[in-house]
Structure 1
């Protein structure tokens, strides 16, 4: 059999995949054994994060991928990253000309998996709960433009906004807006542990080992009413310590699908092979990687130090040495493929240039070499992260302008330390909340941002972000978005590095793999089925 690579297009909202070889993926059935999917995402319960799967707390791609299968939202973005469609809602729309009042009507007969009716009061409870708890993950900031949630009868919900926000339908498609039952979730505190109850397409049963989720079994919810059509009755998500162990399990047939995160070597091997029974799905990606700065910390509180790093780092070389064709240089917070993208960092700094970096430091009176530590997480973004930071270290140290150490830390320690401002410089990744430029600007730059960053630019917060949200046609937001990107390139509170593709590998006999991951790294396991491929 000839191996095939399914290549999904880069255009957001274009849902027809391009098949680079023979074979298809139609058909599939819901019966039979569970489809087993491997991941290296870590799901831990700890003192710092006792409630990782509470919609009012969860704010990373791994936990959101769990919640999207179990907790229903008013809106959803099935398959592609186009306009959200009503999901738990029958209909939703702005009911004023200024995008400040948004009304949703729930589907009739909607139920939680336990049989309790889902009402407008449940929606209000869930949204108000997330906003009032204000979890330290910062996810509640997605709902910051909501001033008041009103209900009329059992099925109508009205959102009154404190400022125009054309992106609200997107935000209501994210798990923080997930509808939960007040019988299962307290109003004023998070739900500790890994139990999840909702009205989504699946119910969940989790198995723990040494404080971490080892296996999650999704079982089709017979009471679900929405726009998704699960192609299977059961999916098992199995966590692996590393990508090599996950790959070995796929080769042996212990799992049928593997997803994030595969190593660059695994992807290259699957891409190059012309035989076998494993197919690789590749899609353009909106995942970004960047360096974040605590702009009040020594030695990076002087903007010239951050600017010099922006001037020195050779993104092309970094990608060539570590990721190859699986990533592309990124010169802005807003990646290519998203309306409003512009290469602000390249426009300001051009190619990597030691002389210009030295000039920036000299003019600012900064003594060189600048000594600092780059912090990264060892277990959250894949095994290549260490190699990436070794390359960054080499580039900065080879200039003679910096004296850089690197330090890796597990995510469960890394993330709280970063939020507490313990790191002057740190590496992070970002998978958008939704495919709009607002999801690449506000989470980093607005008040209560998800980095806990002290950087505060009044023009961005008070003028440009609100201005960009007024535009119902997102093309009309481009001017404000471009200005935000130019300010970020000047001040460098964050330093964009690269934009990555998304990959998934599936054994023959599994259908729907081309739809099971999208460019935002959202898993859509309801698309997987069993049938004939090849």
Structure 2
């Protein structure tokens, strides 16, 4: 069977991308051998991060790929487009006109994977636990608008919010709001290691090598009750050292599907070999963004003019075309172009790259040149092209004559603790949305308790603009506040957006459900996969 490239574009407009129902979306049969999925994500328990899979700690796409399969949430992002729908809940909704009281009724006979009954008290315990632990990953900030959690009987949970928050249903669909068993998770302490116990569609068995999980074995949970149809009995997720090893495993038949992160060269090769390959390539519209973050207290970049000059010099179009080609596009805001509320604030302020304008900015601020900087990046989390991207950024900045830049790479388990401790002045990060709304591209970076631990604060954004945008149930009406936020970011440059990219999955043609294996937040939905014949 010839391979087809299936393109699933992100919609410009409302809340979520539309995943078109096309080849690879057919239901497959359950049973049979495990479906084997390859990834380059690494899962390591370290002294700095001993509890990588605790829902109260985990806050990256790799660990959420584990939790989405195993920990159930009250709400869930739908298979296609639109707002979240009930999952562990039978129904949920705001019960007041001000969007400050949100009530959920649980499904009957909900059980954890060990057979223990789930009650409203377990939901309250789980939410309160994540809020109280306040892990340094910053994931607890997704629940920052919660004031108190109330229960009524065994099956009703009521969330009293501090302020109106129209995005709250989305937040209840994220793993930090996952329901955990108080028998397995201590109230005030993270659960170390790789054990996960929940009520999701799968149970997890982790295979480890020292402090690293090398394989995640997902087995269909017989006690699961929810909205999902599980099309397989077992999925193995295998971690590979790099994209080349993962691609070789797919070619040899050792795995059935590979996902993040493929190299640009692999994607290009697959897209060009339509007539000769038995592999389906699925392309999903890009909600991933990449950006530079600044420690605005660091002497090298404390002066705003330095950050503005970098924004004036960086040539996004050249960066994208040289490294990623058609797999990405230039980004001039933290909010991607396909999300309601996007504004090209950086282009509006800086226009085309200009060394002359950057030189004037530095001169007016009495900054001596060249400005010495180190750009830090992670070597093993965002794909093999990251090193090339940072070498090109270095070249652009140094060729201006205004900067003296070096680049330095580090493994993810070293990189994350270092940036959280403020050891870097400039570093590169990626962002996959927790949910597809503009709020999730501004609040995690700019609100109180931002996950980057950035010293940058803006009282107008925190006290006025973010709360204003959250009061708007019609997200189109939030545009004015969101545009103001993006304009402030372009002026102050606490972060420098670079590009937004597409997501890809490559699978053998007998694997079905690939069109829906990634949700609108680019996290895996392994229950969609089956074996059969894709179109």
SS where residue 505 of structure 1 aligns?
Answer: strand
Partner of 1:236: 236
Question: Contact 2:19–2:516 (CA<8 Å) still a contact in 1?
Answer: no
* Secondary structure of 1:518's aligned partner: coil
1:108-147 map, 5 Å:
108-147=108-147
Where 2:361 maps in the other structure, the secondary structure is helix
Counterparts of 2:154 and 2:300, CA distance in 1: 56
The answer to whether the 8 A contact 2:10-2:19 is kept is no
Q: Is the 8 A contact 1:283 1:518 kept in 2?
A: no
Deviation at 1:353, TM superposition (A): 0.6
Q: Distance in 2 between matches of 1:375 and 1:336?
A: 26
Report the Cα distance in structure 2 between the residues aligned to 1:181 and 1:388, rounded to whole angstroms. Answer: 43
Deviations 1:141-166 (A, max 9, x none): 11011000000000000000111111
Equivalent residues of 1:285, 1:519 under 8 A apart: no
Check conservation: 1:282, 1:502, Cα contact below 8 A: yes
The one of 16, 20, 23 equivalent to 1:17 is 20
Cα 1:522–1:16 change in 2 (3 A) is: closer
Cα distance in 2 for partners of 1:392, 1:228 equals 44
The aligned runs of 1:463-502 (5 Å cut-off) are 463-502=464-503
Q: Which runs of 4+ in 1 moved over 3 A?
A: 12-16
Deviation at 1:25? 4.3
Match of 2:76 in 1: 76
Taking the aligned partners of 1:246 and 1:414, their CA distance within structure 2 comes to: 23
Which range is displaced more, 185-194 or 517-526?
517-526
1:449 maps to: 450
CA distance in 1, matches of 2:27, 2:145: 43
Pairs within 5 Å for 1:164-183 = 164-183=164-183
- Distance in structure 1 (CA, Å) of the matches to 2:479 and 2:510: 44
Give the corresponding residue for 2:280: 279
1:259-274 aligned at under 5 Å gives the runs 259-273=259-273, 274=275
2:184·2:197 contact (CA, 8 Å) conserved in 1? yes
1:78, 1:354 → 2: CA distance? Answer: 46
Hey, what's the Cα distance between the residues in 1 that align with 2:25 and 2:389? 36
CA deviation after TM superposition for structure 1 residue 15, in Å? 4.2
Structure 2 stretches of 5 or more lacking a match? none
1:370 and 1:13 mapped to 2: Cα distance?
41
For 2:129 and 2:271, how far apart are their aligned partners in 1? 46
CA distance in 2 between partners of 1:346 and 1:46 (Å): 41
Distance 2:66 2:324 in 1: 27
Measured after TM superposition, the shift of residue 533 of structure 1 is 2.6
Partner of 1:59: 59
Residue in 1 that maps onto 2:198? 198
Alignment of 1:189-228 (within 5 A): 189-228=189-228
SS of 1:375's equivalent in the other structure is: strand
TM-score, scaled relative to structure 2? 0.98
Please say if 1:161 is aligned against 2:164.
Answer: no
Residues in 2 aligned to 1:24 and 1:498: alpha-carbon distance in whole angstroms: 28
**What do residues 199-243 of structure 1 show as CA deviations (whole Å, max 9, x unaligned)?**
000000000113111000111111111111111011110000000
Determine if contact 2:77/2:519 at 8 Å carries over to the other structure: no
CA distance in 2, matches of 1:24, 1:79: 14
- The answer for the alignment partner of 1:2 in structure 2 is 2
1:290·1:429 contact (CA, 8 Å) conserved in 2? yes
Distance 1:265 1:450 in 2: 32
> For residues 435 and 16 of structure 1, what CA distance do their matches in structure 2 show?
13
Distance 1:78 1:471 in 2: 21
SS in 2 for 1:2: coil
What's the secondary structure of 2:478's corresponding residue? helix
- Tell me the TM-score normalised to structure 1 length: 0.98
Whole-angstrom distance in 1 between the partners of 2:407 and 2:267: 26
Count of aligned pairs between the two proteins: 531
Query: Displacement of 1:47 after TM fit?
Result: 0.3
Q: Distance in 1 between matches of 2:217 and 2:349?
A: 49
Query: Could you say which residue in structure 1 is the equivalent of 2:389?
Result: 388
Which whole-Å CA distance do the structure 1 matches of 2:27 and 2:46 have between them? 42
Contact 1:285 1:520 in 2 (8 A): no
User: Is the Cα–Cα contact under 8 Å of residues 43 and 63 in structure 1 kept in the other structure?
Assistant: yes
Instruction: Compute the displacement of 1:287 (Å).
Output: 0.3
- Give secondary structure in 1 for the equivalent of 2:302: coil
Q: How far apart in 1 are the matches of 2:148 and 2:21?
A: 44
Distance 1:81 1:65 in 2: 20
Query: In the alignment, what sits opposite 1:318?
Result: 319
Q: Give distance in 2, aligned partners of 1:160 and 1:340.
A: 27
Gaps of 5+ in 1: none
Shift of 1:349: 0.2
CA contact (8 A) 1:100 1:165 kept: yes
Say which SS state the counterpart of residue 441 (structure 1) adopts: helix
Report the equivalent of 2:41: 41
What are the Cα deviations for residues 98-123 of structure 1, in whole angstroms up to 9, with x where unaligned? 01100000001100011111100000
Distance across 1 between alignment mates of 2:297 and 2:435: 30
Q: 1:306: Cα distance to partner?
A: 0.2
Distance 2:428 2:258 in 1: 25
Q: Which residue of 1 is the match for residue 249 of structure 2?
A: 249
CA distance in 1, matches of 2:356, 2:437: 37
